[in-house]
Amino acid sequence: MLGDLVEDIVVWVDGPLRHGTDTGARVFRRRGGSAANVARFAAGQYPARFLGCVGEDAAGDGVVAELGGHGVDVRVSRRGRTGSIVVLIDEDGERTMLPDRGAATLLERVPDAWLAGLTHLHVPAYSFDGEPVGATAVDALVRARRAGATTSVDASSTGMLQQFGRHRFLTLMAELTPTFLFANRSESAFLGLLVDGLPGPERARLAATTVVTKAGAEATTVDAPGEDPFTVPVPPVAQVRDLTGAGDAFAAGFLAGFLETGDLRLAAGLGHRSASRVLASPGASCGEA
């Protein structure tokens, strides 16, 4: 996984934010970053390596140690200051994120040794936004495919896609032809890949890519090249307090399952099971409230 490794400051807000005065909340500090989250959750199911950049500071030491403690092979360069993201969680578990990615954007060309032995490379779209990490991510994906690895990209967020540019992102995906593109329903609709449950007007541009569209508690749609799209139901979850990291956990379970079995339906089911583990805990953590 290539991308961000940062500190998350997760704020569980007790009610609507009250402008100009106090609002009750619980605050948690967690290791974060979309790519780091995927690596953390995949490591319990499949060997995982993280590639990124953190600051030359205590925060960088802490997030590297935390991620490595989950069995992830962590490869990082050290420059600048470690990034942080304030994540506001409302009473329904939905997120509002205030990112300051810091050193995560400073990753330069990945050494050959970091890519050696990889069978799959996953890159969240956040890594295309900013330089030099944007060019680094594209270069790493190209080199991984050239070496015979499969690849995947997560659409990350509609805010990021709007800032990066819809046409620009679709053009990049058509050039990179990732094996998988993960998106939630709003991201997939924004990109024109899945609209109202049907392949959208831009789907043909990514004809070689399997598009996996998540829809929260509703069924996930898997649209593979040359096959009819199918859906995989999401099992009920007893408690949903924080959606942070759920998409990353899904990607981890899906990819681990697919790399082990090659079965898309089974992979989606394993993705749902993985995602369910984080929904009651602050940030991308399991049972740590």
- Angle between helix axes 246-261 and 34-42 (nearest 10 degrees) is 50
Share of the chain above pLDDT 90, in %: 73
Look at residue 283 in the predicted model and tell me its pLDDT.
56
Look at residue 282 in the predicted model and tell me its pLDDT.
60
Instruction: Please give the average per-residue pLDDT across 25-49, as a whole number.
Output: 92
Look at residue 57 in the predicted model and tell me its pLDDT.
96
Please, what is the average pLDDT of the chain? Answer: 92
Tens digit of pLDDT for each residue in 98-150?
989 999 999 999 999 999 999 999 999 999 999 999 999 999 999 999 999 99
Dump the DSSP string for 113-174. HHHTT-SEEEEEGGGGSSTTHHHHHHHHHHHHHHTT-EEEEE---HHHHHHH-HHHHHHHHH
In a domain, 282, yes or no: no
In a domain, 283, yes or no: no
Look at residue 276 in the predicted model and tell me its pLDDT.
84
In a domain, 144, yes or no: yes
In a domain, 207, yes or no: yes
Contact predicate 7/83, CB 8 Å: yes
In a domain, 1, yes or no: no
In a domain, 284, yes or no: no
Would strands 95-102 and 25-32 be described as parallel, antiparallel, or unpaired? unpaired
Look at residue 286 in the predicted model and tell me its pLDDT.
55
Contact predicate 215/185, CB 8 Å: yes
Look at residue 289 in the predicted model and tell me its pLDDT.
44
Query: What's the structural domain count of the chain?
Result: 1
Instruction: Please give the average per-residue pLDDT across 145-174, as a whole number.
Output: 96
Domain enclosing residue 117, as ranges: 6-276
In a domain, 286, yes or no: no
Look at residue 107 in the predicted model and tell me its pLDDT.
97
Instruction: Please give the average per-residue pLDDT across 24-28, as a whole number.
Output: 90
Residue 95 sits in a domain whose CATH number is 3.40.1190.20
In a domain, 287, yes or no: no
